[in-house]
Amino acid sequence: MTLPLQTERLRETLMAQPLPNEMILKWASERPNEVYLRQIINRQFVDYTFAEVADKALRLVSALRDMGIQPGDKVALMSKNCAEWFITDLALMLGSYISVPVFPTAGADTVEHCVTHSESKILIVGKLDDAKAVNAVVEKYPDLPTISFAYPGTPTCTHEFNTVIAKSLPSEERPKHAQDALMSIVYTSGTSGLPKGAMLTYGSFSWSAQRIVDHIGMRDGERLFSYLPLAHITERVYIFGASILAGMQVAFPESLDTFIDDVKMHRPTLFISVPRLWTLFQQRILDKLPQAKLNILLKIPFISGVIKRKLADGLGLDQARMLGCGSAPVSPALLRWYENIGLNITEAWGMTESFAYSTINHPFRSDKIGTVGNAGPGVEIKISNGDEILVRGMGIFSGYYKNEKATQESFDEDGWLYTGDKGFLDEDGYLTIQGRLKDTFKTAKGKFVSPVPIEKRLFELCNIETMCVIGSGMPAPILLAIPHEFPNFDPKRYEHKIERTIETINKELESHAKIKGVLMVKEPWTIENGILTPTLKIKRHILENKYQGLGDDWPKDTLIQWEK
Residue 554 makes CB contacts below 8 A (sequence gap 6+) with 475, 478, 516, 517, 561
Instruction: Compute the average pLDDT of residues 502-520.
Output: 91
Q: Does the global pTM surpass 0.75?
A: yes
Q: What residues make up the domain containing 476?
A: 440-562
> Could you give the 3-state DSSP secondary structure of residue 548?
coil
Q: Kindly tell me if the per-residue pLDDT of 488 is higher than 90.
A: no
Residue 48 makes CB contacts below 8 A (sequence gap 6+) with 35, 36, 37, 38, 39, 56, 83, 87
More confident residue, 331 or 340: 340
Q: Rounded distance, CA 467 to CA 463, Å?
A: 10
User: pLDDT for 282-310, tens place per residue?
Assistant: 988 998 999 999 999 999 988 999 999 99
Reference 103, options 74, 140, 139, 76; nearest CA is 76
The reply to whether 188 falls in a domain is: no
**What does pLDDT average to over the chain?**
91
> Could you give the 3-state DSSP secondary structure of residue 37?
strand
The reply to whether 497 falls in a domain is: yes
Instruction: Compute the average pLDDT of residues 513-533.
Output: 88
H helix or E strand, kind and range, residue 24: helix 20-30
Verify cis geometry, omega within 30 degrees of 0, for the bond prior to 229: no
User: pLDDT for 387-406, tens place per residue?
Assistant: 999 999 999 999 999 999 99
The reply to whether 457 falls in a domain is: yes
Is residue 391 within 8 Å of 358, Cβ to Cβ? Answer: yes
Kindly list the strands in the beta sheet with 345-349, ordered across the sheet, starting from the edge strand earlier in the chain: 44-49, 35-41, 249-252, 223-225, 270-273, 322-325, 345-349, 359-360, 374-375
Which backbone phi and psi does 164 adopt, to 5 degrees?
-65, -30
Q: How many helices (H) and strands (E) does the chain have?
A: 19, 26
CA distance from start to end of the chain: 52
The packing angle between helices 202-216 and 8-15, to 10°, is 80
Sorting pLDDT into bands at 50, 70 and 90, what band is 12? low
Reference 252, options 279, 234, 219, 230; nearest CA is 230
The reply to whether 283 falls in a domain is: no
Q: Rounded distance, CA 68 to CA 121, Å?
A: 9
Kindly state the DSSP code that residue 252 receives in the 8-state scheme. E
Is residue 106 within 8 Å of 114, Cβ to Cβ? Answer: yes
Is residue 447 within 8 Å of 476, Cβ to Cβ? Answer: no
498-502: Cβ within 8 A, 24+ apart: 498/462, 498/464, 498/559, 498/560, 499/559, 499/560, 501/458, 501/461, 501/462, 502/559
Residue 315 makes CB contacts below 8 A (sequence gap 6+) with 260, 263, 281
Enumerate the H helices of 332-381 as residue ranges: 332-340
User: For residue 499, what is the domain's CATH number?
Assistant: 3.30.300.30
Cα 349 from chain centre:
10
The reply to whether 381 falls in a domain is: no
> E strands, 394-530, where?
417-425, 431-436, 441-442, 448-449, 466-470, 478-482, 517-520
The pLDDT of residue 2 is 43
Q: Rounded distance, CA 220 to CA 30, Å?
A: 14
Q: Kindly tell me if the per-residue pLDDT of 553 is higher than 90.
A: no
The reply to whether 70 falls in a domain is: no
Residue 456 makes CB contacts below 8 A (sequence gap 6+) with 329, 331, 332
The pLDDT of residue 256 is 84
Which backbone phi and psi does 504 adopt, to 5 degrees?
-65, -50
Number of domains in the chain: 1
Nearest-5° Cα angle at 379, 207 to 191: 90
CA quadruple 245, 93, 154, 45: dihedral, nearest 10: -30
The pLDDT of residue 5 is 44
Q: Rounded distance, CA 144 to CA 136, Å?
A: 12
The packing angle between helices 301-315 and 275-288, to 10°, is 120
Is residue 201 within 8 Å of 179, Cβ to Cβ? Answer: yes
The reply to whether 43 falls in a domain is: no
> E strands, 18-97, where?
35-41, 44-49, 74-78
Residue 369 makes CB contacts below 8 A (sequence gap 6+) with 332, 335, 336, 339, 347, 361
User: pLDDT for 136-169, tens place per residue?
Assistant: 999 999 999 999 999 988 988 999 999 999 999 9
User: pLDDT for 73-130, tens place per residue?
Assistant: 999 999 999 999 999 999 999 999 999 999 998 889 899 999 999 999 999 999 999 9
Secondary structure of 384-406 as H, E, C letters:
CCCCEEEEECCCCCCCECCCHHH
The reply to whether 460 falls in a domain is: yes
